[in-house]
Amino acid sequence: MVGAVLSDRYEIIEKLGGGGMAVVYKAKDTLLGRLVAIKVLRDQFAQDETFVERFGREAQAGARLSHPNIVSIFDVGRHGDDHYLVMEYVEGTNLKNIINEKGRLNENQVIRIGIELCEALEHAHENGLIHCDIKPHNILINDRGRVKVTDFGIARACTSDTITFAGSLVGSVHYFSPEQARGGTADIQSDIYSASVVLYELATGKQPFTAESPVSVALKQITEEPVPPSEINPEISPELESIILRGMSKSPQDRFTSAAEMKEALSELNGGEPAFPVNGQKEKVKTKKLRPAGWVALAAALLLVAVIGYFAALGFFKVDEVEVPNVVNEELEKATEMLEEAGLKVNVLSEIHDIEVPEGHVISQNPEGGERVKKNRVVTLEVSLGPEIVEVPDVTNQTLRDAEITLSEAGFKVAPDVTYIYDSRVGEGKVIQQIPKAREKEEQGQEIRLVVSKGPQPEYIEMPDLSGMSMADAQKKIDEVRLKLGNVSNAESKFYFSGQVADQSVKPGSSILQGKSVDIVVSKGPGPEPQLASVTVAVPNDGEKHRIRIEVVDSKGSHEEYNNLHNAGDIVREKVAFFGEGTVRIYRDGQLVHEQPVP
């Protein structure tokens, strides 16, 4: 994708990252000469109408919002099979990366982030949109320290007919409100709950609820109260703790009534400093007039700074840098030993199920292996719980392609040695049997063996005569008797007109096994010369008039040669034209009364 130009306008520069549904790229808008972010739907979902609809909904939702704390949506389009969004490019990082790097933040930073997050939500809610997926990953901090909320991918209008997702869980379970965890309605209070969970994590460096599986986390969201933030971070003020815990109340009625109310509560605690200093700008410090004792303290402080500067110049306070060892795929105990030997500290950030990485081994690390960092830096690890044991889905009567998709979505693979057998009950190309059977419990990542139908057992049949048929009629006849059309060639013929089948590799009436191929020769003309035949018809002498019609069926098809009304007792004598061999049919008053072969 890097280097590609979407819709003759957006030049892809580099990959920035991706989620489960889409990949994000940095790109240049060649028309306006600016950098943008392009979100491209993953290939496996581009053909899925549900995912494409959800992707389009992100554009519709985002385009309605215009706020300095919300990432702008500029454009939506399609390039070949790729569906994409064009968004504001934000130079910076997301809150999850900041938490992984710094752990908890100071109270002032938490408050300022909370205020700007509430301002973004307030604007969205005023425009009838619920974000539904507020989490640190979706909150960017630009290079000026400003909060930018992104990914309105599952936002939806606040109307009664679109507010629920039929009980399904959409979003990230660690930040779900209890009502979302139950599969119920998501509303303004749901966003307030998720925002409060984010502030909890910023203030403590930890998520309020963790467990071995998403379902267990969801149950804790519903039934358990969070550990008070002050028990994890004693430096947090009672006022900020009260705001966070109120926003995380189990009952929506006990939370803030709006993002604006929550913002006002945070603003009363705010000292005016930015969440993060702007590049090249120092953090502001409150000043007040010094008393005499203050001058003494200031002099002592200056002396201390001078001493520190002196020893720093000697390298007394210098912190050595070390290279972070790569511990991905290592067993946790060994990984911990390697990191501690390098002079680093270890923090297991999360434990999740993984198909590829064995249980107890490291899935990812931050910082990554090979980076140089200060000694005693904390390296966060994500550790595998191994494959999750889940129910095998039923893929019988599905096509092989559909079965592959169904099993892949459940975390399974299709064994490469697919077995094909004849079966008269299951259509060709559909799954007859699967091993293990449906609804059995198995580890994700396991291969599922499939048996696929080749259709009914082929039988010997009598080869039909294709002579004189058009290509379309010949193909239809071949399909009807379960044969295959082989090589098609063209040749001149005096017996068949251009486009008619003149010959076939298997003679009409001979025995042939279904499934075999039949080659045909199609005439290029000129076809047979016309011949004449004399026809005599006696009209009954019954006192009545009668209509006489003469029809010829030959290698050219069926064509009428005579049609007229006659008196009783008339004798009709006509010469009719025919091509090749044919049949003359005589009709009286619409009824066939005689037919004879010609010549």
In a domain, 180, yes or no: yes
In a domain, 282, yes or no: no
DSSP H or E run through 476? helix 471-480
- pLDDT over 50 (residue 291): no
Query: Could you tell me if 132 and 154 are in contact, meaning their C-beta atoms sit under 8 angstroms apart?
Result: yes
In a domain, 466, yes or no: yes
Cα–Cα distance, 187 to 206 (Å, whole number): 25
Q: What is the residue whose two structure tokens read 């004849």?
A: 422
pLDDT of residue 484: 94
Lowest mean pLDDT among 62-76, 83-97, 538-552, 568-582: 62-76
Report, as an integer, the average pLDDT of 570-579.
93
pLDDT-derived band at 201 (thresholds 50, 70, 90) equals: very high
In a domain, 316, yes or no: no
Note the pLDDT tens digit of each residue in 44-59: 777 777 767 766 766 7
Note the pLDDT tens digit of each residue in 300-352: 545 544 444 444 444 434 557 899 999 999 999 999 999 999 999 988 877 88
Q: What is the residue whose two structure tokens read 């039929």?
A: 166
Kindly report the length of the chain. Answer: 599
Domain end position, chosen among 453, 476, 505: 453
Q: Let me know whether 429 and 557 are in one domain.
A: no
- pLDDT over 80 (residue 562): yes
* Tokens (6 digits) for 315: 């390298």
pLDDT of residue 185: 72
Greatest mean pLDDT among 383-387, 527-531, 573-577 lies in: 573-577
Domain end position, chosen among 435, 453, 471: 453
Name the residue type at position 234.
P
- pLDDT over 70 (residue 202): yes
Name the residue type at position 472.
A
DSSP H or E run through 140? strand 139-142
Q: Let me know whether 124 and 224 are in one domain.
A: yes
Report, as an integer, the average pLDDT of 551-572.
92
Cα–Cα distance, 75 to 79 (Å, whole number): 13
Q: Let me know whether 135 and 201 are in one domain.
A: yes
Can you give the CATH number for the domain in which 25 is found? 3.30.200.20
Share of residues in the chain with pLDDT > 70 (%): 86
Q: Let me know whether 209 and 252 are in one domain.
A: yes
pLDDT of residue 295: 47
In a domain, 312, yes or no: no
pLDDT of residue 95: 95
Domain end position, chosen among 502, 526, 550: 526
In a domain, 470, yes or no: yes
What are the angstrom distances between the C-alpha of 216 and each of 201, 209, 220, 450, 470? Answer: 19, 9, 6, 33, 66
In a domain, 204, yes or no: yes
Cα–Cα distance, 566 to 560 (Å, whole number): 17
Identify the CA nearest to 331 among candidates 370, 362, 293, 303. Answer: 362
* Tokens (6 digits) for 533: 């035949």
- pLDDT over 60 (residue 463): yes
- Please name the residues in contact with 507: beta carbons below 8 A apart, sequence gap of 6 or more: 463
User: Domain count of the chain?
Assistant: 6
Query: How many C-beta atoms lie closer than 10 Å to residue 296's C-beta?
Result: 11
Can you give the CATH number for the domain in which 515 is found? 3.30.10.20
DSSP H or E run through 350? strand 345-352
Cα–Cα distance, 441 to 390 (Å, whole number): 5
pLDDT of residue 159: 31
Q: Let me know whether 259 and 326 are in one domain.
A: no
pLDDT-derived band at 287 (thresholds 50, 70, 90) equals: very low
Buried-state track 203-222, b at ≥16 Cβ within 10 A, e below 16: bbbbbbbeeeebeebbbbbe
DSSP 225-288: PPPPHHHH-TTS-HHHHHHHHHHT-SSGGGS-SSHHHHHHHHHTT--S--SSPPTT-PPP----
Note the pLDDT tens digit of each residue in 358-373: 999 999 898 889 988 8
Q: What is the residue whose two structure tokens read 């997301």?
A: 94
Helix and strand counts by DSSP (H, E) for the chain:
14, 33
pLDDT of residue 153: 52
Q: Let me know whether 550 and 423 are in one domain.
A: no
Count the alpha carbons within 13 Å of 78 in the hemisphere toward its beta carbon: 8
Instruction: Tell me which residue range forms the domain holding 583.
Output: 530-598
* Tokens (6 digits) for 58: 């992100």
Give me the residues paired with residue 592 across strands: 587
Lowest mean pLDDT among 159-163, 477-481, 502-506: 159-163
Q: What is the residue whose two structure tokens read 């109270």?
A: 107
pLDDT of residue 408: 87
In a domain, 353, yes or no: yes
Q: What is the residue whose two structure tokens read 């979505």?
A: 409
Q: Comparing 504 with 166, which gets the higher pLDDT?
A: 504
- Phi, psi of 577, rounded to the nearest 5 degrees: -95, 145
Identify the CA nearest to 387 among candidates 415, 414, 417, 410. Answer: 410
Identify the CA nearest to 420 among candidates 458, 455, 452. Answer: 452
- pLDDT over 70 (residue 28): yes
Cα–Cα distance, 239 to 254 (Å, whole number): 17
- pLDDT over 90 (residue 432): yes
Query: Could you tell me if 12 and 6 are in contact, meaning their C-beta atoms sit under 8 angstroms apart?
Result: yes
Q: Let me know whether 68 and 187 are in one domain.
A: no
Identify the CA nearest to 131 among candidates 106, 151, 104, 110. Answer: 151
- Please name the residues in contact with 298: beta carbons below 8 A apart, sequence gap of 6 or more: 290
Share of residues in the chain with pLDDT > 90 (%): 56
Biggest CA-to-CA distance, the chain: 146
Note the pLDDT tens digit of each residue in 374-428: 888 888 888 998 888 899 999 999 999 999 989 988 889 999 999 999 998 999 9
Note the pLDDT tens digit of each residue in 217-259: 888 999 999 999 999 999 999 999 999 999 999 999 999 999 9
Can you give the CATH number for the domain in which 568 is found? 2.60.40.2560
Q: Let me know whether 510 and 540 are in one domain.
A: no
Report, as an integer, the average pLDDT of 504-530.
93
Query: Could you tell me if 150 and 134 are in contact, meaning their C-beta atoms sit under 8 angstroms apart?
Result: no
Query: Could you tell me if 149 and 55 are in contact, meaning their C-beta atoms sit under 8 angstroms apart?
Result: no
**What mean pLDDT, rounded, does the chain reach?**
85
pLDDT of residue 314: 45
pLDDT of residue 368: 87
Name the residue type at position 457.
Q
Note the pLDDT tens digit of each residue in 140-194: 998 888 999 987 655 443 333 333 333 334 347 899 899 888 877 778 999 999 9
Q: Let me know whether 103 and 205 are in one domain.
A: yes
Catalytic machinery residues: 133
Can you give the CATH number for the domain in which 99 is found? 1.10.510.10
Q: Let me know whether 247 and 117 are in one domain.
A: yes
pLDDT of residue 129: 83
Q: Let me know whether 394 and 425 are in one domain.
A: yes
Provide the 3-class DSSP secondary structure of residue 136.
Answer: helix
Q: Let me know whether 63 and 197 are in one domain.
A: no
- Phi, psi of 255, rounded to the nearest 5 degrees: -85, 180
